[in-house]
């Protein structure tokens, strides 16, 4: 029996959210104080949710693994946030943002959720401006917009190349105000180790204090996970070093279904890999594609000469350059969606036209600098250019940047219904941690929008609707409740087990090995054989981990190696699940490209007949295969078409 | 290149720390400083020793989590970068590199090179925000803001809360950090409304937490990885004076 009920409200797609709000249950102000909500994560989704729930008067406990909520990974987002304001008067509307998002996601997202997202996008911009977020402005004093991939309008609001930072600091300010007011209590450097389920409902979490190693239990009438994405399964990604999939995996093991694990986003414009010691990949924002043109040499011999260091890109004449995106996709040009741009780069490099190590293409600003002047380019992208120069030691104002696709974002995540509730009642998931609104591919500048939509404008309603029925649930004392005591013991045993293996391999060496398997077999291009191989290899690596990993130090102190070991143990499980999901989905859609399913021109070939559904996986034990459940997707407001950016 | 490292090791907040020497070999100039530290740690783990604890997360200069005092300078020898963005090409083969945590009473050491910067959160909790709730706010374009003010607010808002300014200041003053937030919000009409109240509350909290006074040495500005200007301290003083005059 499946527990999947998406709970989409009645009515036309444009009326559903209003209908929901008109009929949802409320909690009166005096009672809110009696209800506890746990929010794990302080990124845009968690920070905004915690602050807003605190403002309403609920008692909120907030957790993050960094030393301050302000450092959540959302801080690193560069390019911008979408909204359907239509300030530039270029034909945007709520419907168009909705349409672009569903199409961008290759028709694998839930219509009702995406429409709501587009609806509340405008409120987000208003909210952020009211908080003092210094968005870029025109000389007339009004807000400026830029364009992002997959759209033909300018709907992206930005704060230089630091939009995520500014939005997060806005949410962090709101959270700080609630901490000062006493409605929110913050737990920094505290890692969630498990979800506690009592009588079928989520009632709390188990945590580890990362400074002292202490294991604690916390009660909540409801639990929100806003713990970000799991791109670090691949070891190298644009995510922060501590970004992890553990909270989601722990919830999955406790019965929350995992949605579309195989949908990962590979971002086309990242600084290429340059060595074995490398710890992470750095994104060069998609906004650069507004002014940068992507190319490789037209002639193979030129590419070879460049790779050998005998030729410079600036020496190649215009007619000898292949602006392959402009050539293949004239309507969208350099601004095609990410999955399309990434595959096109791989295609050129695999064919022998790559530059640098062979795994790189050029992103060139020469034309833009001639047109707009260096100052304008510096104003738009100064911090990105500086970042590039610090890493690569080349001046991108003078010579084109080298870029290559890298793992960036996970569209998959915990399955949630319209209320953002997982299959465990009382357990909500928000932001990148849920399987979300982006289908098989996310458009640029839409993750910030989704995180803040979930946090400011969706969860305050839906969590309240849930809590209205919990008024009579007394606060449980974790010290005296069987489920909490057992969960705490399990966590303690898990940690002891990791500490006692005392093998010969460092956590990182195993994580890197997993990363290679994932990148080679579950990365940009996948096929049946490679995926089957990956499942076998990961399973063997998992055994190796549990037999041979080495975690130095002790568990009762600050121990970064132990933290990593705990995360890598979960990544090993997640990697296998991703490969399984990718193997079962016998079609190409969005970020999921199966080599067996492509058109003659090498474009992704969907199979709507058989695969217009969300694949969700139910955990069946560590040795058993997970069970697949399907949520069929119905398109009522949008006609499903072949995605075309030509 | 081959390097000698002198690294501050300290078991926990209550233990006494000291320097330990380590050698690392074959470090490429393309590696970042923290990647060099990863290599050291891999070496320590493989030889059964406790790796060096240091804070880091984004590794692209934006989260503010990394710190480190390198050869006597906060965030090391390069200018306007954080430690995670510092690259080994700034060093030479055979160099000895001394690596210490932030040293300030306001930031106690947790372990090795990690310090506790929660005092920064507490200062901002005192008033580093605009007091509005979610929902019910005016349209984003209702109030035009001059581009010059918006740009200057953005300059101030780029502070990443890393703590280099405090670590560098001989008085352990947090004025640059506080002024960045006060200035950002005072420059915008949305934040102007409570600007002097905010300045007063944040300065009071800073004093309470034991940070020192600003004597205008300007050392903070030099080491700030985000180039936050001490001009913001002047604006903070203005708002502060205004708040005290009104009383
Ligand atoms: C380099 C980069 C640039 C980007 N640029 C853009 C952009 O321009 N526009 C856009 O729309 N999107 C962008 N994105 C995507 C976007 O930033 C993220 O998807 C989004 O910020 C995720 O927000 P979140 O709130 O879901 O999670 P996060 O911000 O990742 O926050 C996760 C939180 O969970 C906490 N946490 C995690 N695990 C645990 C645990 N076990 N215990 C306790 N706490 C835990 C963390 O401490 C953190 O507070 C970018 C992403 C990257 C990597
Ligand atoms: S003002 Fe500069 S040095 Fe001080 S915390 Fe902010 S970014 Fe760091
Ligand atoms: S690790 Fe984030 S700023 Fe250095």
Q: Name the one residue in this structure whose structure tokens are 């081959």.
A: B2
Domains assigned to chain B: 3-110 (3.10.20.30), 118-245 (1.10.1060.10)
Number of domains in chain A: 3
| Residue A23 within a domain | no
Residue at A475 is within a domain: no
- Under DSSP, the state recorded for A287 is G
- A276 closest CA partner among A236, A307, A238, A242: A236
* Helix, strand, or coil (residue B92): coil
Q: Give residue-wise pLDDT tens across range A323-368.
A: 999 999 999 999 998 889 999 999 999 999 999 999 999 999 999 9
Based on the fold, state whether residues A556 and A445 are members of the same structural domain: no
Q: Which of A119, A233, A151 is nearest to A569 (CA)?
A: A233
Which CATH number covers residue A545? 1.20.58.100
Nearest C-alpha to atom 4 of ligand 2 is from which residue? Answer: B165
Q: Identify the domain boundary among A470, A490, A518.
A: A470
Chain B contact set for A125 (CB, 8 A)? 140
Phi then psi dihedrals of residue A640, to 5 deg: -75, 125
Q: What is the pLDDT of residues A131-152, one digit of tens each?
A: 999 999 999 999 999 988 888 8
- A383: in domain: yes
Question: How high is the pLDDT of residue A2?
Answer: 67
A167 shares its domain with A185 = yes
- Pick the ligand that lies closest to the CA of residue B85: 3
Is residue A234 within 8 A of residue A250, CB to CB? The reply is no
Does the beta carbon of B140 lie under 8 angstroms from any beta carbon of chain A? Answer: yes
Which DSSP state fits A604? B
Q: What is the pLDDT of residue B247?
A: 66
Domain match, A140 and A256 both: yes
pTM of the predicted model over 0.80: yes
Interface test with A, best of B9, B57, B178, B184 (most A CBs within 10 A): B57
At A530-561, the pLDDT tens digits run 999 999 999 999 999 999 999 999 999 999 99
Q: Above 60 in pLDDT, residue B160?
A: yes
- Beta strands per DSSP E along A353-433: 361-364, 401-410, 413-414, 427-429
pLDDT above 70: percentage of residues in chain A: 100
Confidence of residue A602 (pLDDT cuts 50, 70, 90): confident
For residues A373-377, average pLDDT: 94
For the Cβ of B128 lying below 6 angstroms from any atom of ligand 2, the answer is no
Whether residue A95 lies inside any domain: the answer is yes
pLDDT of B201: 97
Q: Do A253 and A201 reside in the same domain of the chain? A: yes
Please tell me whether residues A75 and A176 are part of one structural domain: yes
Return the pLDDT at A282: 93
Residue A426 near chain B (CB below 8 Å):
no
Report residue A579 as tokens. Answer: 């490969």
Tell me how far apart the alpha carbons of residues A261 and B165 are, in angstroms, rounded to a whole number.
43
In terms of domains, do A209 and A282 share one?
no
A135 and A226 share one domain: yes
**Given CB atoms, is A456 within the 8 Å cutoff of chain B?**
yes
Residue A1 confidence (pLDDT) above 70: no
CA of B180 to the centre of ligand 2 (A): 8
Q: Is residue A513 part of a domain?
A: yes
Q: Is A22 among the domain residues? A: no
CATH number of the CATH domain containing A397: 3.90.700.10
Averaged confidence pLDDT in chain B: 96
End-to-end CA distance of chain A: 43
CA distance A562 to A550: 9
**Given A382, A407, A432, which residue is the final one in a domain?**
A407
Helices of type H across A15-130: 16-23, 29-32, 44-56, 94-104, 111-130
pLDDT band at A628 (very low <50, low <70, confident <90, very high): very high
Average model confidence (pLDDT) across chain A:
96
B63-67: average pLDDT: 98
pLDDT for the residue numbered A286: 85
- Quick one: which ligand is closest to A68's CA? 1
Range of the domain at A126: 38-262+409-470
Dihedral sign of CA atoms B60, B62, B64, B67 in order: positive
| Residue contact A176–B56, C-beta within 8 A | no
Distance B197 CA to ligand 1 centre (A): 33
Task: Quote the percentage of chain B above a pLDDT of 70.
Answer: 100
Does A601 have pLDDT greater than 90? no
pLDDT tens string A183-198: 999 999 999 999 999 9
- 3-state SS of A538-549? HHHHHHHHHHHE
Mean pLDDT along residues B104-121: 96
For chain B, list the strands marked E by DSSP. Answer: 3-9, 18-24, 69-70, 73-74, 96-100, 109-111, 114-115
The answer to whether residues A460 and A391 belong to one domain is no
Q: Which residues 144-163 on chain A approach chain B with CB closer than 8 angstroms? A: 159-160, 162
Are both A374 and A451 inside the same structural domain? no
Residue A240, domain CATH: 3.50.50.60
pLDDT score at A382: 85
Contacts of A304 (CB under 8 A, 6+ apart): none
Look at strands A427-429 and A222-225 and give their pairing.
parallel
pLDDT exceeds 80 at position A614: yes
The CB of B165 under 6 Å from ligand 2? The reply is yes
Q: Are A540 and A464 in a shared domain?
A: no
Residues A86 and A234 in one domain: yes
Residue A395 lies in a domain: yes
Active-site residue flag, A189: no
Q: Judge whether A186 lies within some domain.
A: yes
Among the listed ranges A187-196, A286-295, B13-22, which one has the minimum average pLDDT value?
A286-295
Interface of B with A in 192-221 (CB under 8 A): none
Q: In the structure, what pLDDT confidence band is assigned to residue A450 with cuts at 50, 70 and 90?
A: very high
List the single best residue of B62, B126, B162 to mutate versus A (max A Cβ within 10 A).
B62
Question: Could you tell me if A282 and A374 lie in one domain?
Answer: yes
Residue of B164, B184, B225 to test ligand 2 pocket, by largest number of atoms within 8 Å of CB: B164
């Amino acid at each position: 029996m499946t527990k999947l009920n998406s709970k989409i409200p009645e009515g036309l797609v444009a009326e559903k959210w209003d209908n929901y709000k008109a009929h949802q249950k409320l909690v009166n102000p005096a009672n809110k104080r009696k209800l506890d909500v746990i929010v794990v994560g302080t990124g845009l989704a968690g920070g905004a949710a915690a602050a807003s729930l605190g403002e309403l008067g609920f008692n909120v406990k907030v957790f993050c693994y960094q030393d301050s909520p302000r450092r959540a990974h959302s801080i690193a987002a560069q390019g911008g946030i979408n909204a359907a304001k239509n300030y530039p008067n270029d034909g945007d509307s709520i419907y168009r943002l909705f349409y672009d998002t569903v199409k961008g996601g290759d028709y694998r997202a839930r219509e009702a959720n995406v429409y709501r997202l587009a609806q509340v996008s405008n409120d987000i911009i208003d909210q952020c401006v009211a908080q003092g977020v210094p968005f870029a402005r025109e000389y007339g004093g009004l807000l400026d917009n830029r364009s992002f991939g997959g759209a033909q309008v300018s709907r992206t609001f930005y704060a230089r190349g630091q939009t995520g930072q500014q939005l997060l600091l806005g949410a962090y300010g709101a959270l700080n105000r609630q901490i000062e007011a006493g409605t929110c209590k913050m737990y920094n450097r505290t890692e969630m180790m498990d979800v506690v389920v009592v009588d079928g409902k989520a009632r709390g979490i188990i945590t580890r204090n990362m400074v002292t190693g202490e294991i604690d239990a916390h009660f909540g009438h409801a639990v929100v996970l806003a713990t970000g994405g799991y791109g670090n399964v691949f070891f190298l990604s644009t995510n922060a070093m501590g970004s992890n999939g553990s909270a989601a995996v722990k919830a999955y093991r406790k019965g929350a279904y995992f949605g579309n694990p195989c949908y990962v986003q590979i971002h086309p414009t990242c600084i290429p890999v340059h060595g074995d010691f490398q710890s992470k990949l750095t994104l060069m924002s998609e906004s650069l594609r507004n002014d940068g043109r992507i190319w490789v040499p037209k002639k193979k011999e030129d590419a070879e000469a460049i790779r050998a260091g005998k030729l410079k890109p600036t020496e190649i004449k215009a007619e000898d350059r292949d602006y392959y995106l402009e050539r293949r996709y004239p309507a969208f040009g350099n601004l095609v969606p990410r999955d399309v741009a990434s595959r096109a780069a791989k295609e050129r490099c695999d064919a022998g036209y790559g530059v640098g190590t062979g795994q790189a293409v050029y992103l060139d600003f020469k034309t833009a600098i001639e047109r707009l002047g260096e100052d304008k380019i510096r104003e738009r992208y100064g911090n990105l250019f500086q970042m590039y120069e610090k890493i690569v030691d080349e001046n991108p104002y003078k010579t084109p940047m080298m870029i290559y696709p890298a793992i960036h974002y996970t569209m998959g995540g915990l399955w949630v219904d319209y209320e953002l509730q997982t299959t465990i009642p009382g357990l909500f998931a928000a932001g990148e941690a849920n399987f979300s609104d982006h289908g098989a591919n996310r458009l640029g500048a839409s993750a910030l929008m989704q995180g803040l939509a979930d946090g400011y404008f969706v969860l305050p309603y839906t969590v309240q609707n849930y809590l209205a029925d919990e008024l009579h649930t007394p606060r449980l004392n974790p010290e005296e409740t069987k489920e909490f005591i057992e969960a705490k013991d399990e966590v303690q045993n898990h940690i002891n087990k990791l500490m006692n293996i005392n093998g010969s391999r460092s956590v990182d060496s195993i994580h890197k090995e997993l990363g290679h398997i994932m990148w080679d077999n579950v990365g940009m291009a996948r096929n049946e054989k490679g995926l089957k191989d990956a499942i076998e290899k990961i399973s063997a690596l998992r055994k190796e981990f549990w037999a041979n990993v080495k975690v130095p130090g002790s568990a009762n102190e600050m121990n970064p190696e132990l933290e990593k070991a705990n995360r890598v143990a979960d990544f090993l499980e997640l990697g296998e699940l991703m490969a399984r999901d990718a193997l079962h989905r016998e079609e190409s859609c969005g970020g999921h490209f199966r080599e067996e399913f492509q058109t003659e021109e090498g474009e992704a070939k969907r199979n709507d007949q058989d695969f217009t559904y969300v694949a969700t996986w139910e955990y069946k034990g560590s040795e058993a295969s997970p069970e697949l459940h399907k949520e069929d997707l119905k398109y009522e407001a949008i006609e499903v078409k072949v995605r075309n950016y030509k | 290149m081959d390097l000698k490292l002198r690294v501050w090791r300290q078991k926990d907040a209550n233990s006494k720390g000291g320097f330990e020497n380590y050698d690392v070999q074959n470090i490429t100039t393309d590696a970042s400083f923290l990647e060099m530290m990863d290599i050291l740690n891999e070496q320590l783990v493989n030889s059964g020793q406790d790796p060096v604890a240091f804070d880091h997360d984004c590794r692209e200069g934006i989260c503010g989590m990394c710190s480190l005092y390198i050869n006597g300078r906060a965030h090391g020898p390069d200018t306007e970068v954080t430690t995670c963005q510092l690259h080994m090409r700034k060093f030479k083969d055979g160099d000895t590199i001394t690596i210490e945590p932030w040293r300030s009473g306001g930031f106690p050491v947790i372990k090795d090179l990690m310090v506790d910067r929660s005092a920064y959160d507490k200062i901002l909790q005192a008033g580093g925000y605009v007091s509005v709730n979610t929902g019910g706010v005016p349209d984003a374009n209702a109030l035009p803001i001059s581009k010059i003010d918006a740009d200057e607010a953005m300059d101030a808002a780029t502070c990443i809360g890393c703590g280099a300014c405090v670590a560098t200041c001989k008085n352990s003053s947090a004025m640059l950090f506080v002024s960045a937030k006060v200035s950002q919000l005072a420059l915008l009409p949305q934040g102007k409304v409570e600007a002097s109240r905010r300045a007063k509350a944040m300065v009071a909290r800073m004093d309470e937490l034991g940070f020192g006074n600003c004597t205008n040495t300007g050392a903070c500005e030099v080491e700030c990885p985000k180039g936050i200007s001490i001009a913001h301290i002047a604006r903070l003083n203005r708002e502060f004076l205004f708040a005290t005059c009104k009383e």
